[in-house]
Amino acid sequence: MRTDLENILLTKIRDQESGKAIIDAWKNEGKKVVFTNGVFDLLHIGHITYLAKAAEEGDKLVIGLNADSSVKRIKGESRPVNDQSSRAAILAALFFVDAVIVFEEDTPLNLITNLMPNVLIKGADYTVDNIVGAKEVIAAGGEVKTITFVEGYSSTKIIERIKKQI
């Protein structure tokens, strides 16, 4: 038997088809849907701050989460530290996250064009011209924004620090 918390988490973790359906429903209700994506391997204060700021840009926050296979291709064979189910559940547990959708590709372009959020957000280390999906979101009448990171935090740096202590 599932707990209430497990049921809540499971309603937030969606496949692309059910994710599109809920996002379309939110848009039909006049909700502003915000999308961001990433690996979110070892969740830290930089992630929390970034995601909270992203959530403030609209009514519903959707996170595209790189699948384990995608993370291995992008970050190397030793990553991710946490598997995609664990990473998705941790993100879904955040009160300001409304949906988490895992994607297999190296970039979220297909997911973004399928979901077509009102607002696409990435970190300020990107510019609008090099954000995947920006052209498509803007062409559909949406916005693209960047958010400044909290300096000094990254999963890679945390992993390196742990390795030094072992």
Q: Tens of pLDDT along 68-101?
A: 999 999 998 989 999 999 999 999 999 999 999 9
Q: Are 132 and 88 in contact (CB under 8 A)?
A: no
What are the φ/ψ torsions at residue 86 (nearest 5 degrees)?
-65, -45
Say if CB 150 and CB 46 are below 8 A apart: yes
Model confidence at 131, in pLDDT bands (50, 70, 90)? very high
Please say whether the beta carbons of 19 and 101 come within 8 A: yes
Burial of 112 from C-beta contacts in 10 A (0-12 / 13-18 / 19+): buried
Tell me if the bond preceding 117 is cis, omega within 30° of 0: no
Question: Which domains are present in the chain?
Answer: 4-165 (3.40.50.620)
Q: Is the pTM of this model over 0.85?
A: yes
